[in-house]
Copies of this chain bind each other. A is one copy, B any other.
Amino acid sequence: MQNLRIPGPTPCPEEVLIAMGQQMINHRGPEMAAIMKEVAEKLKYFFQTKNDVLVLTGSGTGGLEAAAVNFLSPGETVLSVSIGVFGERFAKIASIFGAKIIALNFEHGKAADPALVKKALAEHPEIKAVLVTHNETSTGITNDLKSLASVVKGAGKLLMVDAISSLSSIDLPVDEWGCDVVVSGSQKGWMVPPGLAFISVSPDAWKAHAESKMPRFYWDLAKHKASIEKGQTPWTPCVSVIVALHKALIMMEKEGMQNIFKRHQKIADFTRKGVKELGLTLLAEEKYASNTVTAVLATEGLDPKKLLKVMREEYNTVLAGGQGPLEGKIFRIGHLGWVTENDIKVTLDNLKLALPKAGFRS
């Protein structure tokens, strides 16, 4: 079997794949309603929230668009706290739909500094909402969201979080930290294929929704809220991924949320240690290094594109390259969702053999 070590889509357990292959059911029938209601409850558990958690058929980027268009009006000011490609994408979407963006961009490979966020909020009292990435997939950095949230909520602003590649793998107590809108995506820590985005909405966010004037239809969360209470979605959903997610959530409950976080921590530590032992250098300062994806610098003559090719063709292992300004400068190892330490051990063993073939002089 291919060792798929990219930060999503992630490999799926056998039980999930069996669920994916189940025959279609009526998306407005009682079987689906029972599944949807359980899925919604279990999602709330993993979001650690009493807020509504809605299920959208779309990519994670669709979830970000839903976050952008449901709570803002054209002309309103938004602070974008960005540490990479996906932070910039979130801001771009809000901007296209008419928000004024104040961009607080940190260098790709660094975490956001809460003190600078505080400063920006003080300088711009007109800011209505703040966009923050919890885990930046393109750089393998996890922001100190607890501190960032404290600053944003201390200033009374709406906090919108891209947690696509963190939620369910890395601790994110949505209610405790006061996150108003939080987006995740099925193909990341949830152990199911892509096709769904999840979004939690706080009471304050619903108030903003009622006043928001950005145009929306497909992503209109009020429609999704009205439907999920009947165990439905307003439009025909990606039934198979919902059925698969139901299975995955049961497996995740059995493992235990804290155990899942610990497993990701342990495997990420193992990955970072192994990478360094190979003579490679991590992009991230270890304090902010992500527990779901590790970005490795292309040092000592390493050609990361060549490395990906060799790893795939000779070692049946799929790694990810760099994006945006980091293209050609890093490679990335995904370790989220259905992953064991052994998956990484095999990856590291193969990396050791592949590195010299890709120009690396250790």
* A-to-B contact residues, CB < 8 Å: 1-2, 4, 6, 8-12, 17-18, 20-27, 29, 57-62, 65, 92-93, 96-98, 185, 187, 193-195, 214-218, 234-241, 312, 318, 320
Chain B proximity of A293: nearest CB distance (Å): 14
Q: Is there contact, CB below 8 Å, between A9 and B59?
A: no
Q: Is there contact, CB below 8 Å, between A98 and B215?
A: yes
17 extra interface residue pairs, beta carbon distance < 8 Å, beyond A8-B236, A9-B27, A238-B238 = A4-B23, A4-B24, A11-B23, A17-B23, A18-B21, A20-B21, A26-B320, A29-B312, A57-B58, A61-B217, A61-B235, A185-B236, A193-B239, A194-B236, A195-B241, A238-B241, A240-B241
Chain B residues contacting A187 (CB-CB under 8 Å) are: 24, 236, 239
Interface-centre pick from A4, A235, A312 (highest chain B CB count, 10 A): A235
Chain B residues contacting A18 (CB-CB under 8 Å) are: 21
Chain B proximity of A218: nearest CB distance (Å): 5
Q: Is there contact, CB below 8 Å, between B57 and A218?
A: no
In angstroms, Cα B147 to Cα A263, docked, is 63
Given contacts A59-B218, A239-B193, contact A1 B17 (CB under 8 A): no
Chain B proximity of A89: nearest CB distance (Å): 8
In angstroms, Cα B18 to Cα A91, docked, is 39
With both beta carbons as reference points, the residue of chain B lying nearest to A10 in the complex is identified as B24
Q: Is there contact, CB below 8 Å, between A9 and B24?
A: yes
Q: Is there contact, CB below 8 Å, between A236 and B24?
A: no
Q: Is there contact, CB below 8 Å, between A65 and B218?
A: yes
Chain B proximity of A136: nearest CB distance (Å): 16
With both beta carbons as reference points, the residue of chain B lying nearest to A194 in the complex is identified as B236
Chain B proximity of A322: nearest CB distance (Å): 12
Q: Is there contact, CB below 8 Å, between A217 and B20?
A: no
Chain B proximity of A231: nearest CB distance (Å): 16
- 17 CB-based A-B contacts, threshold 8 Å: A4-B26, A6-B26, A9-B26, A20-B20, A24-B187, A27-B194, A57-B57, A58-B235, A59-B236, A59-B237, A61-B217, A62-B235, A93-B218, A96-B215, A97-B217, A194-B239, A240-B241
